[in-house]
Amino acid sequence: MGHKHTKADILAGALAVASSDGLSQLTFGRVAKHLGISDRIVVYYFLTKDDLIGEVLSAMGAELQATLAPVFSVPVADHLELLRSAWPVLARPAADPVFALFFEAGGLAAAGREPFNVIVPQLVEAWIEWAAERLAGTRARRRAEAEAAIAMLDGLLLIRQLAGPAVANRAAKRIGGAASGASK
């Protein structure tokens, strides 16, 4: 009898395929080929391609949140402090492939492509809520500060993808004195 694969194995394979080929090219067949299994096994765990894409994007977000968690052991004062704390972690070369996929998903969402037009706004909302939990103040203030922080971080990360680390680090330093010591 063949190897047994778990949902986690299939998701890891899907993440690898998305990282190498892009989210727009993510298919059951490509995941199955990458893992050396039948595409029916992929379908067993992910009934639709939308389910697979949603799980891939959620897994990427969860990984980033876990990476950032140690940075925020206590609530920070405002969006600039959140930026200064998060930027050195997010601006590492290891995070670049994750943000390349995130911005690909954002572009597909902006173009109205399903399921991205539904999933990406939910992902952004989840990030805002996650950031709000790391800020001090009233609920309304935390929400406003989180929105500002995510907007700035996403802008800096997009510039990092398009113009390179040096440009993004200079911009981060100018915006909020964010530590710009991340590797190029």
Bridge partners of 76, per DSSP, are 135
Q: Where do the structural domains in the chain lie, given as residue ranges?
A: 1-47, 56-176
**pLDDT tens track for 111-157:** 999 999 999 999 999 999 999 999 999 999 999 999 999 999 999 99
pLDDT at 179: 53
Predicted pLDDT at 183: 43
Architecture in CATH of 1-47 = Orthogonal Bundle (1.10)
Query: Which tens digits make up the pLDDT trace of 155-164?
Result: 999 999 999 9
* Cβ-proximal residues to 28 (8 Å cutoff; 6+ apart), any chain: 39, 42, 43, 46, 49, 52
Mean pLDDT of the region 12-29: 95
- Whether 65 and 130 have beta carbons less than 8 Å apart is answered as yes
Task: Inform me whether the pLDDT recorded for 58 exceeds 60.
Answer: yes
Confidence of residue 181 (pLDDT cuts 50, 70, 90): very low
How far is 167 from 37, CA to CA, in rounded Å? 43
pTM for this model (two decimals): 0.87
What is the predicted pLDDT for the residue at 1?
Answer: 42
- pLDDT for 176 equals 79
**Candidate from 49-53, 109-113, 178-182 with smallest mean pLDDT:** 178-182
User: What percentage of the chain carries pLDDT values higher than 90?
Assistant: 85
Cβ distance 169 to 182 under 8 Å?
yes
The whole-number pLDDT of residue 164 equals 97
Cis check: omega of the bond before 115, within 30 degrees of 0: yes
Radius of gyration (Cα) for the chain, nearest Å? Answer: 18
Residue 4's pLDDT is 81
Residue range 61-90: average pLDDT? 92
Contacts of 92 (CB under 8 A, 6+ apart): 182, 183
- DSSP 3-state of 19: helix
